[in-house]
A and B are shown apart, each in its own frame.
Chain A
Amino acid sequence: MLMPMEQIVCENPFGAGPVYRFDQVGSTMDTAKKLFAGSHQASLVVTAGHQKTGRGRIASRSWSDSPGSSLLVTVAISRESIPCALHELPLRTGEAVCSLLTGLLDEEVRIKWPNDILVHGRKICGILCESTSDAAYMGIGINCLQREFPQERYGTAHKRPPTSIVMEGGGVGDPLDLLPGLLSALYDALHDEHWRTYLQTHLFLNGRQVAFLPGEAAEQRTGPAEDEIICGIVRGIDDQGGLVIAVEGTSRSWYSGELLGPCTHGPEGEIHDE
Chain B
Amino acid sequence: MTIEYIRSLIEVFESSSLTELHLNDEGQEITLKREKEIQVLSAPVHSAPPAPQPIPAAGDAAPFTQEADTIIIPSPIVGTFYRTPAPDSPPFVEVGDTVKAGDALCIIEAMKMMNRLEAEFPCEIVAIHANHGDLVEYDGALIEVRRI
Contacts and interface: CB of A to CB of B under 8 A. Distances in A.
Given A59-B86, A215-B135, A216-B133, A87 B80 contact: no
Interface string B78-110: 111010001110000000000000100000011
Nearest to B114: A130
Given A89-B113, A114-B111, A133-B102, A219 B82 contact: yes
Nearest to B88: A59
A130 B82 contact: no
A87 B120 contact: no
B113 A130 contact: yes
Contacts, number: 81
A256 B113 contact: no
Contacts of A240: 78
Given A215-B135, A219-B80, A219-B82, A255 B110 contact: yes
A184 interface: no
A129 interface: yes
Nearest to A91: B111
Interface in A114-136: 114-115, 127-133
Contacts of B110: 87, 255-256
Nearest to A57: B112
A90 B115 CA distance: 12
A220 interface: yes
Interface in A225-269: 240-242, 255-256
A241 B113 CA distance: 12
Contact of B79 (A91, A130, A132, A255): A255
7 contacts: A57-B112, A59-B87, A130-B114, A130-B115, A133-B117, A216-B133, A255-B111
Given A87-B110, A219-B80, A255-B111, 16 more contacts: A59-B86, A59-B87, A87-B78, A114-B112, A129-B112, A130-B113, A130-B114, A132-B116, A133-B118, A215-B135, A220-B133, A255-B79, A255-B110, A256-B80, A256-B109, A256-B135
